[in-house]
Structure 1
Amino acid sequence: MKYSAVIACSVLCAACMQAIGQERQSCTGPQLGTWALQSNTTEDLTTGEKAELFGAHPTGFISYGPDCRMSVILIKEGRKAPTVPTDAERVELYNGLVAYAGTYSIEGDKVSHHIDASWNQSWTGTTQMRQFRVEGKTLYLKTLPGKNALTGKMSSSVLILVKVE
């Protein structure tokens, strides 16, 4: 009887693994790879005012994998490196950061970031949609109109990134 249970369990596990393997997604296209942030400009949609919330020379990367997984880290220019951050320094570090990871899907000129983990817990489990285009070695992303996670104002941001080779 024990031997039959072991065989049944093994067959079930093999079937599950095969099903998981069949569900594995594959992404192709010019977005594949790692892209380095060159600029990030945000427009306040109420006033039309444009600002570089992360400075003129922010750093960061967006990576799109062939397994349809993606990750983003954007860092404000000039962040200070405290030895042991005070509460105020921790707030400043947090306010100079955007980071999340998950899966992505593409439909036409829109890429959807399906977020599994985020610096801002309110984004975890959501989908963030972006307009995108790739021109040669440059990736352009534009957020759709919405409440900015840093300012709370209705805005849209344009990110320009260059392919890392």
Structure 2
Amino acid sequence: MKHSAVIVCCVLCVSSMQAIGQERQNCTGPQLGTWALQSNTTEDLATGEKTELFGAHPSGYLSYGPDCRMSAILVKEGRKAPNSFVPTEAERVELYNGLVAYAGTYSIEGDKISHHVDASWNQSWTGTTQVRQFRIEGKTLYTKTLPARNALTGKESSSVLIWVKVE
């Protein structure tokens, strides 16, 4: 009898743990949806110089789901298509240098949104948390990266990105 009670207790504990593991996160708020990139200005913190690393008219999207998942892709203005379906090494490098893309989950605390990166164009970002200050004014989302080494330039910098809600 004791043996049966122990088995039932173990089954109930395992079932409860599985239910907790399957419990889905739920995110709400004005960040939900897809945002189109309008501008991306980077400031070199040592010199104060501001540049548009992806051009004056970059493209890209940032999406936040109610399941607390997010994805981002930023593409440099004027990227050239390779000469054939399979890019040469030089074309591949040029394409890579004009791209930022990652996906994962997100959490919000105050005016900061944290992107917990599960997959990334730059493997050094995978498994990290990228924190952004953010604010939403009407249909416009403003994000600002915290001071850090820029993944494209290697310089200590901060970037301001402006996004417009896709409807």
State TM-score, norm by structure 1: 0.90
Give per-residue Cα distances to partners, 1:126-146, cap 9 Å, x unaligned: 000000000000000000000
Aligned to 1:124: 126
Matched, 1:92 2:94: yes
Select which of 104, 107, 110 maps to 1:108.
110
Give per-residue Cα distances to partners, 1:81-128, cap 9 Å, x unaligned: 111311111011000000000000000000000000000000000000
Aligned to 1:46: 46
Q: Which runs of 5+ in 2 are unaligned?
A: 1-7
State the Cα distance separating 1:37 from its structure 2 match: 0.1
Rounded to whole Å, the distance in 2 between the matches of 1:156 and 1:109 is 16
Rounded to whole Å, the distance in 2 between the matches of 1:164 and 1:126 is 27
Matched, 1:19 2:20: yes
Give per-residue Cα distances to partners, 1:55-78, cap 9 Å, x unaligned: 011000000001100000000000
One-letter amino acid of the structure 1 residue matched with residue 105 of structure 2: T
Aligned to 1:162: 164
Secondary structure, aligned partner of 2:114:
strand
Taking the TM superposition and a 5 Å limit, the aligned residue runs for 1:146-157 are: 146-157=148-159
Aligned to 1:79: 79
Q: How many residues align?
A: 159
Secondary structure, aligned partner of 2:124:
helix
RMSD of aligned residue pairs (Cα, Å): 1.8
Rounded to whole Å, the distance in 2 between the matches of 1:15 and 1:46 is 53
Rounded to whole Å, the distance in 1 between the matches of 2:22 and 2:89 is 46
One-letter amino acid of the structure 2 residue matched with residue 20 of structure 1: G
State the Cα distance separating 1:19 from its structure 2 match: 2.0
State the Cα distance separating 1:42 from its structure 2 match: 0.3
State the Cα distance separating 1:44 from its structure 2 match: 0.4
Secondary structure, aligned partner of 2:131:
strand
Matched, 1:34 2:31: no
Residue 77 to residue 14, structure 1, CA distance change in 2 (3 Å): same
Rounded to whole Å, the distance in 2 between the matches of 1:95 and 1:13 is 48
